[in-house]
């Protein structure tokens, strides 16, 4: 039986000038990486804010870890929830080490200087940042990608029940964004923390989500795995949202996205395979296929599927690529 950590039951949120969320029903399992995706103004951020009480529903109820959200002391609730925003929210007057350890110190999870040093050192080392170099730096001395990396470490450092991430990478350059997506997958695999991730980028949703919820105009249109939504959209609007999510340059399309669109094949016999990641691009894949190999798509050392020259040709034909 699935243990649901978060449940929305007929939830609505009405602002004076508009309805932000309507008749919203959703269960998010403990340990799940759940992505809410949809265009701007679809109600994603409002939904996220209702989980930690930044917004209160005007109808229905939300259950967190088996209890009605309204029954929690709001401060105690928020101690269980990490939060990562698009606007990098490090405390500018605190060092990197102080930012990472702050919540754990306030909660009295760490009580000695040695424990703090260990927490900070382990956190920075886990994302390949040298503690000797970064621990005493100030936020303004970091790049945007580095600041957001520290923000993610801070959110996970206190071992929260859930981490909320609201368009956390949308302001970053593509390289930093890709690196931080990989970091989230790594943190999720290692900690099994429930993550609720909001984005308007379907490619990002496909890469990260165990399941995806598609929203529009305050309504939840469909919930499913990336493969289910890609292959069986609930309606024309979901299909269009998904179809319009690709890069303008089809050769920058993630190989994982191509697979979830229905182009994975069974493992061909007697052919050499080369492993690539879900977030490697079609351009990367074509180099492998030119060497008469089969692409094996892997995520966290797990095989997700195989792509051959023919399946890639089928994808290109279906997407009317004439380059």
Domain enclosing residue 300, as ranges: 250-319
Q: 300 with 173, same domain?
A: no
**Distance, CA of 195 to chain centre:** 7
**24-28, 201-205, 235-239: which has the highest mean pLDDT?**
24-28
Mean pLDDT of the chain: 86
Strand partners, 289: none
Same domain, 23 and 109: yes
**pTM score, whole prediction:** 0.75
Same domain as 136, residue 168: yes
Q: Among residues 224, 243, 262, which one ends one of the domains?
A: 243
pLDDT of residue 321: 45
Q: Which of 187, 211, 243 is the last residue of a domain?
A: 243
More confident residue, 125 or 195: 195
Domain boundary residue, one of 243, 277, 292? 243
User: Are residues 165 and 84 both part of a single domain?
Assistant: yes
- The predicted-structure confidence for 232-252, as pLDDT tens digits, reads as follows 888 888 888 777 554 445 666
CA distance 57 to 59: 5
Count how many domains the chain has.
2
Q: Which H/E stretch holds residue 197?
A: strand 194-199
Whether 50 and 177 share a structural domain: yes
Number of C-alpha atoms within 13 angstroms, CB side, residue 245?
26
> Alpha carbon of 97 to those of 110, 184, 247, 296: distances in Å?
13, 20, 37, 40
Inter-residue contact 28 to 6 (CB < 8 Å): yes
- What is the per-residue pLDDT for 301? 81
Contact 250, 282 (CB under 8 A): yes
pLDDT at 245 (0 to 100): 56
User: For 73, phi and psi rounded to 5 degrees?
Assistant: -65, 125
At 125, list the tokens: 């080392």
Same domain, 75 and 190: yes
- Residue 145 clears pLDDT 90, i.e. is over it: no
Which 8-state DSSP code applies to residue 286?
A: H
Q: What percent of the chain has pLDDT over 70?
A: 94
- Regarding whether 279 and 238 lie in a shared domain, the answer is no
How far apart (Å, rounded) are the C-alpha atoms in residues 243 and 261? 10
Q: Are residues 267 and 168 part of one domain?
A: no
322 pLDDT tier (thresholds 50, 70, 90): very low
Do 309 and 239 share a domain, yes or no? no
Instruction: Identify whether residues 203 and 293 lie together within a single domain.
Output: no
pLDDT for 323 equals 35
Average pLDDT over residues 242-270: 74
pLDDT at 126: 82
Backbone angles phi and psi of 84, in degrees to 5: -125, 120
Judgement on whether residues 230 and 298 belong to the same structural domain of the protein: no
Q: How many CA atoms lie within 13 Å of 278's alpha carbon, on the beta-carbon side?
A: 27
Mapped onto helix, strand or coil, the DSSP state of residue 114 is helix
Count CB-CB contacts under 10 A for residue 122.
13
Measured CA to CA, the distance from residue 285 to residue 233 in angstroms comes to: 27
> What mean pLDDT do residues 106-118 have?
86
207: left (phi over 0), alpha (psi -120 to 50) or beta: alpha
The CATH number of the domain where 135 resides is what?
A: 3.40.50.300
Q: List C-alpha distances in Å: 277 to 39, 173, 307.
A: 27, 20, 12
Q: Tell me the C-alpha distance between 53 and 177, whole Å.
A: 28
Neighbours of 25 (CB within 10 A): 12
pLDDT at residue 49 above 50? yes
Residue 259: both structure tokens together: 């697979």
| Res 251: pLDDT | 66
Q: What are phi and psi of 198, to 5 degrees?
A: -100, 135
Higher-confidence residue: 302 or 246? 302
Are 168 and 235 members of one domain? yes
The answer, yes or no, to whether residue 87 has pLDDT greater than 80, is no
What pLDDT digit, counting tens, does each position of 54-67 carry?
A: 999 999 999 999 99
Q: Residue 301's domain is classified under what CATH number?
A: 3.90.1280.20
């Amino acid at each position: 039986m699935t243990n649901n950590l978060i449940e929305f039951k007929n939830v609505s949120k009405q602002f004076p000038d508009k309805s932000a969320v309507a008749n919203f029903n959703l269960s998010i399992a403990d340990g799940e990486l759940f992505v809410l995706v949809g265009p701007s103004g679809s109600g994603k951020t409002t939904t996220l804010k209702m989980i930690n009480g930044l917004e209160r529903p005007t109808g229905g109820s939300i259950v967190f870890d088996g209890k009605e959200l309204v029954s929690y002391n709001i401060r105690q609730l928020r101690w269980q929830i990490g939060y990562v925003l698009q606007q990098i929210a490090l405390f500018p007057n605190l060092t990197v080490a102080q930012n990472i350890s702050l919540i754990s110190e306030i909660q009295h999870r760490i009580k000695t200087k040695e424990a703090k040093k260990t927490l900070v050192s382990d956190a920075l080392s886990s994302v390949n940042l040298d503690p000797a170099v970064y621990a005493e730096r100030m936020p303004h001395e970091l790049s945007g990608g580095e600041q957001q990396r520290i923000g993610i470490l801070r959110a996970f450092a206190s071992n929260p029940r859930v981490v909320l991430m609201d368009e956390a990478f949308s302001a970053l350059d593509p390289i930093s964004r890709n690196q931080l997506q990989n970091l989230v997958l790594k943190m999720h695999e290692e900690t099994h923390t429930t993550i609720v991730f909001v984005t308007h980028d379907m490619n990002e949703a496909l890469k990260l989500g165990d399941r995806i919820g598609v929203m529009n105009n305050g309504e939840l249109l469909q919930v499913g795995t990336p493969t289910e939504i890609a292959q069986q959209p609930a309606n024309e609007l979901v299909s269009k949202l998904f179809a319009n999510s690709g890069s303008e340059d089809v050769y920058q399309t993630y190989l994982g996205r191509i697979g979830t669109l229905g182009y994975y094949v069974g493992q061909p016999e007697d052919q050499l395979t080369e492993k690539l990641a879900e977030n490697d691009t079609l351009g990367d894949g074509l180099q492998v296929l030119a060497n008469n190999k089969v692409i094996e798509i892997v995520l966290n050392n797990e095989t997700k599927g195989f792509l051959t020259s023919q399946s890639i040709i089928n994808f290109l034909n279906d997407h009317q690529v004439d380059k």
